[in-house]
Amino acid sequence: MADEPLVLGIETSCDETGVGIVRGTTLLADAVASSVNDHARFGGVVPEIASRAHLEAMVPTIQRALDTAGIKAGDLDGIAVTAGPGLAGALLVGVSAAKAYAWALDKPLYGVNHLASHICVDQLEHGRLPSPTMALLVSGGHSSLLLSEDITTDVRPLGATIDDAAGEAFDKVARVLGLGFPGGPVVDRTARDGDPKAIAFPRGLSGRNDPAYDFSFSGLKTAVARWVEAKRRAGEEVPIADVAASFQEAVTDVLTRKAVKACKDNGVDHLMIGGGVAANSRLREMAQQRCDRAGIRLRVPRPGLCTDNGAMVAALGAEMVWRDRAPSAFDLSADSSLPVTDVHVPAAGHGDVHGQAYDALAGGNG
Amino acid sequence: MLLLAFDTATPAVTAAVHDGTAVLAETHQVDARRHGELLLPAIDGVLRTAGVDKRRLTGIAVGVGPGPYTGLRVGLVTAAALGHALGLPVHGVCTLDAIAFQARAEGLAGQPFTVATDARRKEVYWASYDAEGRRTEGPGVDRPAELTPHPRSVGAGALLYPDAFPGADGPAHVSAGALAGFAAAELAAGRELLPNVPLYLRRPDAQVPAAYKTVLGGKAVLPA
Ligand SMILES: [Zn+2]
């Protein structure tokens, strides 16, 4: 296989059509078409709107990525695509497109895991991942602590959220405060003018007998809503910046404390943070302080690579080619609940996930 | 002319190769939940059977619906990507027109008829055709009881609601061979086909979520 494989990655697990092109660990193009504005008035991602947008954006976004990278599709060494987890109907658009490109161009196809891609994207910023790597993935869809020995074969979940993802809590708190959607960036901005110690919001699952690496943000979200409502009922003004800052402090406190503990307990000296919430300025700051204190090397990709994008899929695809992993077959399924341990979906031996995209849409118009 | 044709707008996953005169190979699998898994292997298989190298193709014909969206998009995005990667024009065909073409080939010629497929939610996708096979009404999506179909009708939607479609008969689903035949005839006659854009016919299901629910009970006090 090529020393520096040239791989195109397609990501359609949520509301962004991402197409990235990577040569080895070098980023050549990262094209994104977002339907976020179409969802804003609904206060969340509407699956059917996302799927329609992916179909429209697919070919133009691929072409834009090829133009940016200055390559021809025929130069590629492989096509990678997010096979799951994610929105079933949205994933299916990307997987179908990837198969068509791979088949038409006679290139190997790699159906890869979205979460492993979030980790692997850091290779584009800080070079090859050390082995082992501890990863904290936080976004609107996931909040997990993962330990990886080899990002192409071995990702082990240590803990995850038992209810809401961290990003979901940001969205809901933003809504309670009337700040709009998506909540992450706007809460971050609002919190800069607030006092993070103003209100002592609860730290979920932080008791001595609680699971060490699992998260819970549902109670925190409810506590914030309750606190704000009580203020409004009393006819008092809600100190929005203080609420945002105190909420954000509670989230980042739990995330970073558990991530550092996971590193120490497992003798891992590298922590990678990825996912959309990794763009949060307070999370980056607090993680840096706590890692410095614990002697842990922190790796956080730049914010643009933390959110969902095609470059992360291309990065993992390139690693698959580089390490000579088996490609996927053309009957590859989009699997909305692909387990994180399935880093990629090779041609043989994968489970029966047929009809997943349709089951998830039961009752819908799909 | 060497057309690759496929359709995913009905429960059938079907692909065919057509040389402008006849169908060289065709495949047809009915599995309403596996369009994504079945389509590309079907395309690969049909080209192998026909002994046609994909680089010799001159165009792609794809059914653009109407049909259930999740499956429909598999066909359309595949057509768009293949057209892009192979440098081929993509011709859209209304799936109901392809079924009509097939029904006439199977003996319905010389009389007007209605095509209906299953749109779920107790509705059908439908269109009506005159004795020459020209579409006169539709495509639309409606409850069967609200329609006044021709005395003869075809398609799974007609077969599913015999009360509304008393003259229902086959074919139930679309076949890519018929779709290719329709496209080849239209192209040969110098007529434009449709763009590769889905005929959704319904707006996306997108309920605006209700105002956030109060956790203290009672009426929520909404921020300004
Ligand atoms: Zn993600």
| Amino acid sitting at position A326 | A
A101 to chain B: which residues are within 8 Å by CB? Answer: 81, 84-85
Among B34, B80, B204, select the one facing A59 at the smallest CB separation: B80
B44 to chain A: which residues are within 8 Å by CB? Answer: 103, 330
- Alpha carbon of B86: minimum distance to chain A alpha carbons (Å): 6
- Alpha carbon of B107: minimum distance to chain A alpha carbons (Å): 33
* Residue B213 pLDDT > 90: no
A326 and B CB contact within 8 Å: no
Q: What are phi and psi of B124, to 5 degrees?
A: -125, 150
**Residues A238 and A189 sit within 8 Å (Cβ to Cβ):** no
Cα(A12)–Cα(A99) distance, integer angstroms: 14
- Contact assignment for B215 to A354 by CB distance below 8 Å: no
A351 and B CB contact within 8 Å: no
A73 to chain B: which residues are within 8 Å by CB? Answer: 85
Helix (H) or strand (E) holding B59: strand B59-63
Most confident segment among A75-84, A341-350, B103-112, B201-210: A75-84
pLDDT tens digits for range A259-296: 999 999 999 999 999 999 999 999 999 999 999 999 99
**Residues A359 and B32 sit within 8 Å (Cβ to Cβ):** no
* Residue A349 pLDDT > 50: no
Residue B212: band (very low, low, confident or very high) from pLDDT cuts 50, 70, 90: very low
**Residues A299 and A159 sit within 8 Å (Cβ to Cβ):** no
Under DSSP, the state recorded for B194 is B
**pLDDT value at residue A45:** 83
Ligand 1 ion: residues within 5 Å (CB): A 139, 308
Under DSSP, the state recorded for B164 is T
Placement of tokens 């996708």 in the chain: B125
- Contact assignment for A354 to B37 by CB distance below 8 Å: yes
- Alpha carbon of B112: minimum distance to chain A alpha carbons (Å): 30
**pLDDT value at residue A34:** 86
Under DSSP, the state recorded for B55 is G
- Contact assignment for A357 to B70 by CB distance below 8 Å: yes
A75 and B CB contact within 8 Å: no
Q: Which of A29-38, A316-325, A335-344 is predicted least confidently?
A: A29-38
Residue B131: band (very low, low, confident or very high) from pLDDT cuts 50, 70, 90: very high
Mean pLDDT (whole number) for A186-203: 97
- Mean pLDDT, chain A, whole residue set: 92
CA distances from B110 to A76, B105, B120, B169, B170 (A): 53, 11, 31, 16, 17
* Residue B110 pLDDT > 80: yes
* Residue A333 pLDDT > 80: yes
A93 and B CB contact within 8 Å: yes
HEC readout, chain A? CCCCCEEEEEECCCCEEEEEEEECCEEEEEEEEECHHHHHCCCCCCHHHHHHHHHHHHHHHHHHHHHHHCCCHHHCCEEEEEEECCCHHHHHHHHHHHHHHHHHHCCCEEEEEHHHHHHHCCHHHHCCCCCCEEEEEECCCCEEEEEEEECCCEEEEEEEECCCCHHHHHHHHHHHCCCCCCHHHHHHHHHCCCCCCCCCCCCCCCCCCCCCCCECCHHHHHHHHHHHHHHHHCCCCCCHHHHHHHHHHHHHHHHHHHHHHHHHHCCCCEEEEECHHHHCHHHHHHHHHHHHHHCCEEECCCHHHHCCCHHHHHHHHHHHHHCCCCCECCCCCCCCCCCCCCCECCCCCCCCCCCHHHHCCCCCCC
A92 to chain B: which residues are within 8 Å by CB? Answer: 36, 70, 73-74
**Residues B88 and B59 sit within 8 Å (Cβ to Cβ):** yes
**pLDDT value at residue A35:** 80
**pLDDT value at residue B207:** 57
3-state secondary structure of B185: helix
**pLDDT value at residue B67:** 97
Instruction: Say if residue A132 is preceded by a cis peptide, omega within 30 of 0.
Output: yes
Instruction: Report CA(A205)–ligand 1 centroid distance (Å).
Output: 23
Burial of A41 (0-12, 13-18, 19+ CB in 10 A): exposed
Cα(A155)–Cα(A166) distance, integer angstroms: 21
The CA-based diameter of chain A, rounded to the nearest angstrom, is 68
- Contact assignment for A100 to B34 by CB distance below 8 Å: no
Residue A39: band (very low, low, confident or very high) from pLDDT cuts 50, 70, 90: confident
Nearest residue to A13 via CA among A47, A42, A43, A41: A47
- Contact assignment for B221 to A232 by CB distance below 8 Å: yes
B223 to chain A: which residues are within 8 Å by CB? Answer: 176-178, 232, 238
Under DSSP, the state recorded for B56 is G
B205 to chain A: which residues are within 8 Å by CB? Answer: 46, 48, 364-365
Cα(A157)–Cα(A134) distance, integer angstroms: 10
B78 to chain A: which residues are within 8 Å by CB? Answer: 96-97, 99-100
**pLDDT value at residue A227:** 97
| Amino acid sitting at position A112 | V
CA distances from A39 to A15, A35, A114 (A): 9, 7, 22
B74 to chain A: which residues are within 8 Å by CB? Answer: 92-93, 96
Nearest residue to A169 via CA among A108, A116, A215, A112: A215
**Residues B7 and B75 sit within 8 Å (Cβ to Cβ):** yes
**Residues B81 and B109 sit within 8 Å (Cβ to Cβ):** no
Q: Order of strands across the sheet with B168-169?
A: B135-142, B124-129, B113-118, B153-154, B168-169
**pLDDT value at residue A142:** 82
Cα(B183)–Cα(B134) distance, integer angstroms: 14
Share above pLDDT 90 across residues of chain A, in percent, rounded to a whole number: 88
Cα(A122)–Cα(A132) distance, integer angstroms: 14
Mutate to test the interface with B, among A42, A59, A99, A164 (most CBs of B within 10 A): A99
Instruction: Report CA(A6)–ligand 1 centroid distance (Å).
Output: 23
Higher pLDDT among residues A129 and B215, named by residue = A129
Cα(A114)–Cα(A340) distance, integer angstroms: 8
pLDDT tens digits for range A216-267: 999 999 999 999 999 999 999 999 999 999 999 999 999 999 999 999 999 9
Share above pLDDT 70 across residues of chain B, in percent, rounded to a whole number: 92
- Mean pLDDT, chain B, whole residue set: 92
**Residues A72 and A56 sit within 8 Å (Cβ to Cβ):** no
* Residue A175 pLDDT > 60: yes
Mean pLDDT (whole number) for A97-111: 98
- Contact assignment for B215 to A177 by CB distance below 8 Å: no
**pLDDT value at residue B220:** 33
Nearest residue to A84 via CA among A168, A137, A12: A12
Placement of tokens 């921020």 in the chain: B223
* Residue A365 pLDDT > 50: no
Nearest residue to A281 via CA among A300, A261, A309: A300
CA distances from A69 to A65, A297, B22 (A): 6, 31, 42
Cα(B135)–Cα(B130) distance, integer angstroms: 7
